Amino acid sequence: MQLSRLASSVAGSLLALLALAAATASPALAQTGVVQGQVVDAASMRPLSNVQILVAGTGIGQLTNSSGRYVLLNVPAGEHTVQATLIGYDEATQTVTVTAGQTATADIQMSSTAISLNEIVVTGVGAETTRRALGTSVEVLAAEDFELAPVQSVDQLLQGRVAGATVNATSAQPGTGSLINFRGVSSVFGAQTPVIYVDGVRVDNDQSTAAGTGGEQSSALADILVSDIERIEVTKGGAASTLFGSDAATGVIQIFTKKGTPGAPRITARVERGIEMPELKYIFDMGVIFPERVESGEITERFMRDLYFKNGQTQNYYVGVSGGTADVTYSVSGRLEDLTGTQPRDASTNYNIRGGLQASLSEDFTLEFSGNYVRHNFERLYNGAAIADPLTTFEVGDALFFSGASTLLEALDIFLLPQIDESVNRFIFSAGARWNIMDDLSFRMTLGTDNRNNQQRTYQPIGFTPGEPTGNLRRYDRNFTSVSLDGGLTYAWESTGGTVGSSTTVGVQGFREEESVIWGNGRTFALPGTFNFGSAAVITAAEGNVEVFNGGFYLDEQVSLWDKLYLGGGFRIDAGSSFGDNIDTELYPKATGSYILSEDVGLPLVDELKVRAAYGQTGKFPGAFLKDRTFSATSFRGESAPRFSNPGNEDLRPEKTSTIEGGIDAALWNNRVGLDLTLYEARTTDALFDVPRQPVTGQGIQQENVGEILNRGVEVALNLQLLNTQSLAWSIGGTFNYNDNEVTDMGGVPEFSAEGSQKRVTGCWTQSDPNDESTCRGGPVGAWYLTMPVDTNGDGLPDGSERALTGTFPVPDKSGSANTTISIGNDLTISALADWAGGHDVFDYGSVWATFNGIYRRERIRCGMEEGAAEGCAYAFPTQYRADGTVRGKYSQSAARTGFLYDGDYFKLREVSLRYLLPEDWAGTVGAGRATVYANGRNLWIWSRNQMIDGELNGLSGGGLRLGSESSITLSPNRTFRFGVEVVF
């Protein structure tokens, strides 16, 4: 019922818009002709489809078909310039003279380019700037790169597609988000998630938007749109992010949605079906965990595989219409995605309606609007840190113990009782204006809001013995609102002949964010079926509210000399509600330079070569109210009972990351090879550490600007066009990044825990002179700090235990991706994407848990289960000895946690896609201009160095700083196969 209602409302909306479009489209005028032609690759003469053709100054345009052809009707008679644009190619133009009633031909050849130096970028610069003028690294993802990719959320979309990004999923369950990290961990508080803008609106990117469900958090990333994105610009901090001030140290992701292009209404419909298959590489099932029950015949060793896991299904429907006139363009769409997962109570439904509109009220004044509504309903299970998680409790051998059941079948029924349901309603609206006040002076402004409300209900019904047997209902409501404003005035000037150019922008940019959370809990119900916590015997509730403002003024100057040397500079002055009372403003300067070396120096095999360098500061503002000394209170015996809360710090200010970077963009070997190389050093000073007050003060911890963190690294992106013939094109590409992360100054603070007690921030990770602390080198943020066996009496046998740094860390220091695309003819495209990360260690909490039941999972997997099999086995959990050398037994898990820390290196075949453009006459039979069938798969194959847990997952991430790599029994993202048809009318 819901589906049909949604479909009819989408259809209704679209029809109304179509009517509007038809009304705004001008009727054909007399004195017009037709322009037709074909667009081909200049080198191979291969027809190019999806090229945007536009008759300059008329608003008449079209995309080329599978044969590279286009036909433009009603073109006014006279001389015109036909423009052709396509990602990966230089823009091409052709002049054509149209005679009334005649057909003119304008065939166009386009030259591919390995680096798009003329591409326009807006992120991090005051005004639109070509890539050749940028002194920084800015990644741009175009719609063509991901339009039909098998992804559900923007974090999945970024996986493997951005050099220098590490994007690690949390689990297979819906509503969760990946940990995204650019250029290492630059802060020890809060998530490293970059800030995200959608059409100029700063949107919710919180990774913890509901109550935790066994170490797993709901994430606002899960419902950021992925359809109708025109392009995504990614800056990874430094000068490219300076103009965002105290908010951009972790980088900025800007998403621009489609507003339509001139032309007749173009309707796109897509139907997609898919299969979700569980990734069981790290699930060992009951033959390992409950062998005695298998032996007795109660269950099979495939118990969970047969009775718990299943194949899920996806269905994805999309319909959109876009088009417009020279003055008004539009793009409207609706989408429905329904997914049933691979575990029981694992499903999600995503409704999305959006629209983008661009209207030129005069030649000088343009308005833009975009609105996006998402409704995301999902249900999921508890995750691995919870006793209530069925997968974990079976996999660690606790299913009978905690359920009180006598058989595993009965236990499974009990563990499937709880329900975790969440619904998200999210509306993002953006309005913008551009006004060319004078020829040299322009103004632009964007104002928008993101409003995200979610409600989570966690229900343990009566009889749920592993949890609250009398019933328990928890509700978590969160309401998030942000309002963003960005406005700038640009004065652009160019000398006669274009030798010298200048662009000066002054602007303001800021946002206000409000978050309100209400928790309610009802415990003990008289009757089953109650979903109202007001009916419970014991009711508790609480709330939390956060308000933040951050904004600033900026100035950005770009100077171009001879159109090959570009110098830039600027600053931002910031103020924020989270700054301490003694801090008024913060200054963030930047300076950039780029030089198109190939314009002056001819190098063998080099077509284009840009060298660039930049220095810039960015910031990260402190926690919302951490500047204040506060008192909190709880209810106690009917009274409000106050105690000390935050100690307060009047000098609290944003931490600052100063980045110096340099690199090259090069097109080599007749534009067959594109290379983008960046070296950077990012030093975070005044780093905000949670500095504990002495317990004797009764005060807890206070955020203070005391630390310093250094990240140094390299990012490389390489693309190679191996073949480019009329019948076959084959390209390969890849990215690589390495980052070295070091805490260079602890600010006098002792080592402290980061995200749980097993990860440490330390100023002394290695020490070249054991007697001289000044020779210490700081550790990476979150260095593993675990208990390990030690020999205390020097007899060579481990008899004691101590907690120590293991020399390893949880955040990958190396990651990369590889991709390839093969185009056969102009109709068939096959592409693949893989990504990998490494250098990190992962902690296997599930196996820790299993030892409580005497199960040493890793030994059983590696060495078998026969009596004494572990002896002499390549892996055996350490044996503890007594002082006299006699065997005491196995170490307890708490005394030998290093036994559960493994190499986290992994490689995943992330996506394989096949797309076939059906012959035009086939498409024509349904009245369509173009029809595409496609099939793709995601998460198809995993290689990992350890056999126990997925090196990508972050199943035990808590709130705040999230470093990941700690999982209990957590299901890897599903293996997904999708099949779809896209028809364009």
- Residue 698 binds other proteins (CB under 8 A): yes
Residue with smaller CB distance to other proteins, 506 or 611: 506
Residue type, 215: G
Q: Site map for other proteins, 823-862, x if CB under 8 A?
A: -----------------------------x-x--------
* Number of residues in the chain: 985
In whole angstroms, the minimum distance from the beta carbon of 637 to other proteins comes to 5
The label of the residue with tokens 């506060």 reads 630
| Phi, psi dihedral angles at 411 (to 5 degrees) | -65, -40
Please say whether the beta carbons of 43 and 6 come within 8 A: no
Which stretch, 85-93, 693-701, 838-846, 926-934, contacts other proteins (CB under 8 A)? 693-701
Q: Site map for other proteins, 860-899, x if CB under 8 A?
A: --------------------------------x-xx----
Structure tokens at 44: 């191979």
Helix runs in 200-317, H state only: 286-289, 291-295, 303-307
Counting Cβ atoms within 10 Å, is residue 958 exposed (0-12), middle (13-18) or buried (19+)? middle
In whole angstroms, the minimum distance from the beta carbon of 528 to other proteins comes to 21
Residue with smaller CB distance to other proteins, 341 or 580: 580
- Residue 120 binds other proteins (CB under 8 A): no
Tell which one of 641, 722, 790, 828 touches other proteins (CB under 8 A): 641
Tell which one of 83, 419, 645, 726 touches other proteins (CB under 8 A): 645
- Residue 102 binds other proteins (CB under 8 A): no
Tell which one of 71, 409, 633, 790 touches other proteins (CB under 8 A): 633
As a whole number of angstroms, the distance between CA 973 and CA 173 comes to 8
- Residue 584 binds other proteins (CB under 8 A): no
Residue type, 644: F
Q: Any residues with CB less than 8 A from the CB of 603 and at least 6 apart, and which? A: 597, 609
Residue with smaller CB distance to other proteins, 483 or 506: 483
Please say whether the beta carbons of 132 and 140 come within 8 A: no
Please say whether the beta carbons of 906 and 900 come within 8 A: no
The label of the residue with tokens 């309005």 reads 431
As a whole number of angstroms, the distance between CA 469 and CA 547 comes to 38
Tell me the C-alpha to C-alpha distance, in Å, between residue 512 and each of 26, 203, 468, 485, 626.
42, 11, 40, 9, 17
Which stretch, 245-253, 688-696, 933-941, 977-985, contacts other proteins (CB under 8 A)? 688-696
Tell which one of 111, 499, 635, 767 touches other proteins (CB under 8 A): 635
Strand order in the sheet with 841-844: 901-903, 841-844, 966-967
Residue 79: beta bridge partners? 97
- Residue 296 binds other proteins (CB under 8 A): no
Half-sphere exposure of 484 (CA within 13 A, CB side): 24
Number of residues counted as binding other proteins (CB under 8 A)? 58
- Residue 625 binds other proteins (CB under 8 A): yes
Residue with smaller CB distance to other proteins, 585 or 670: 585
Longest Cα separation, the chain: 106
- Residue 545 binds other proteins (CB under 8 A): yes
In whole angstroms, the minimum distance from the beta carbon of 385 to other proteins comes to 12
Residue with smaller CB distance to other proteins, 693 or 945: 693
Residue with smaller CB distance to other proteins, 592 or 702: 702
Tell which one of 264, 606, 613, 624 touches other proteins (CB under 8 A): 624
- Residue 387 binds other proteins (CB under 8 A): yes
DSSP state of 220: G
- Residue 619 binds other proteins (CB under 8 A): no
As a whole number of angstroms, the distance between CA 199 and CA 430 comes to 6
Q: Site map for other proteins, 322-341, x if CB under 8 A?
A: -----x--------------
In whole angstroms, the minimum distance from the beta carbon of 78 to other proteins comes to 13
Structure tokens at 714: 């390299």
Tell which one of 483, 518, 573, 728 touches other proteins (CB under 8 A): 483
As a whole number of angstroms, the distance between CA 132 and CA 563 comes to 9
As a whole number of angstroms, the distance between CA 780 and CA 767 comes to 14
Tell which one of 101, 463, 498, 544 touches other proteins (CB under 8 A): 544
- Residue 524 binds other proteins (CB under 8 A): no
Tell which one of 12, 750, 807, 919 touches other proteins (CB under 8 A): 750
Residue with smaller CB distance to other proteins, 365 or 427: 365
Tell which one of 803, 861, 929, 979 touches other proteins (CB under 8 A): 803
Tell which one of 364, 413, 773, 795 touches other proteins (CB under 8 A): 364
Residue with smaller CB distance to other proteins, 102 or 697: 697
In whole angstroms, the minimum distance from the beta carbon of 437 to other proteins comes to 8
Counting Cβ atoms within 10 Å, is residue 575 exposed (0-12), middle (13-18) or buried (19+)? middle
E-strand ranges in 32-171 read 32-41, 52-55, 60-63, 69-76, 78-85, 92-98, 103-105, 108-110, 120-121, 129-130, 138-142, 165-168
Counting Cβ atoms within 10 Å, is residue 856 exposed (0-12), middle (13-18) or buried (19+)? buried
As a whole number of angstroms, the distance between CA 681 and CA 616 comes to 11
- Residue 535 binds other proteins (CB under 8 A): no
Q: Which residues bind to other proteins, rule: CB under 8 A? A: 327, 361-365, 387, 401, 437, 483, 510, 512, 538, 540, 544-545, 547-549, 551, 575, 577, 624-625, 628-637, 639-646, 648, 692-699, 750, 803, 852, 854, 892, 894-895
